[in-house]
Chain A
């Protein structure tokens, strides 16, 4: 079943067109990787899926993006509800300069998810466990989240995102600021998370795309060149450009 369907999506930054007529379906409970040379519009496309491009004044998005068959680009779409359903992890870990506990309790708090203190405690613990961080921080959840290592901070951000149980999680190069061990931990986590969430991950590492994803889309100069199962894209692509990119001939 398709969780997300993008149809004829164009994006402009001012007069400059960043995405050209993107059509892409994204399957539920799978990891979809977006690859391509930098500046090709991967992040831009990702940000179309939770309307984060709204924040950029000069950015104009047109086309249809359906999530659960509902077009999120309508005028009266409630972006707060949308972002509650579609969480996002950024390239650089960005925990709030607050305690670990407060980082995670923030989402449930503003969305009124927890009814009591003990319920909140449970959500915090469960989220940290799912993000494979609980064992490392359980003795210091009231210390600042910014005091953690880079990899831990990124898992904290993942815990923060899953605390409100989004259906979709967008990840924009979540490992590019991390060392190989932290990267391996996050990759393992992604595979675990896909049971409950649909995941779309932007990565510039083709080996990472091959390791974590079931489907892959290849972008080049603002166009979606090819999309299909990761196996097929890496072993037997139909487009010459895809072939060139994955064999490292450009990009």
Chain B
């Protein structure tokens, strides 16, 4: 449950923000030094080790905003910072793949730039963006380092009712249990890993399905 809430929080923050950022950069922003600079930095951010995001979560969310420790809310926000660049890159790639002839067709019909983007470009880029998002989320689901830092480590065996309650997440659980020397934990760790793997396979399958179902063949 801890993982689920984290991922939901992550999705609901990262997806809209990333989509808007990608649409702005790809469709509206003028090409100049400033946007080049942003572009380079997005690519850099995607390569930053996750532990750095964990530190950021610790420093900013917990210390500055005083959000409660070890909650999926904080975990989700941290993870969404981490997945943001991945999703932006996926969304921009899908927006780029929409042929210019479609934009021209809409513009020539007297659609404004906003209408062209909202009615044609974004819907056509959505499947690609979604599968990129799921892959980003799957990556976030397996992340341990940032979560340890923000304290999603306590062994919490109650199922959290809201994202504001403390909770444990799967990868962190595995990490802790694998550390413990006692025999009984071997099975628990295995079970945990299986659950995590199952989720990851499931999500990647979902991404593939979306991609195949909606992929447009441009002639």
Contacts and interface: CB of A to CB of B under 8 A. Distances in A.
Chains A and B belong together in one complex = yes
Interface of A: 50, 52, 55, 57, 80-84, 87-88, 90, 92, 94-97, 106-107, 110-111, 146, 157, 160-161, 164
Given A80-B110, A87-B109, A90-B108, 16 more contacts: A57-B30, A81-B110, A83-B109, A83-B110, A87-B108, A92-B101, A94-B102, A94-B104, A94-B105, A95-B105, A96-B120, A97-B216, A107-B110, A110-B109, A110-B110, A146-B219
B107 A110 contact: no
Nearest to B103: A55
Interface of B: 30-31, 99, 101-112, 115, 119-120, 124, 216, 219
6 contacts: A52-B104, A80-B112, A96-B102, A106-B119, A110-B111, A160-B105
Contacts of B119: 106, 110
A117 to B, nearest CB: 19
A90 B31 CA distance: 26
Please give me the 3 A-B residue pairs with the lowest Cβ-Cβ distance, nearest first: A83-B110, A94-B101, A88-B108
Given A57-B31, A96-B120, A97-B124, A106 B102 contact: no
A55 B107 contact: yes
Given A97-B102, A110-B115, A83 B107 contact: yes
Nearest to B108: A88
B219 A161 contact: no
Nearest to A84: B110
A164 B219 contact: no
B110 A157 contact: no
Nearest to A87: B108
B101 A164 contact: no
Nearest to B124: A97
Given A80-B112, A96-B120, A90 B107 contact: no
B110 A96 contact: no
A164 B110 contact: yes
A50 B112 CA distance: 13
B104 A90 contact: yes
Nearest to B98: A97
A87 B30 CA distance: 27
A55 B112 contact: no
A83 B99 CA distance: 20
* Centre residue among B30, B103, B109, B110 by max chain A CB count within 10 A: B109
A164 to B, nearest CB: 7
A95 B108 CA distance: 12
Contacts of B110: 80-84, 107, 110-111, 164
A94 B116 CA distance: 14
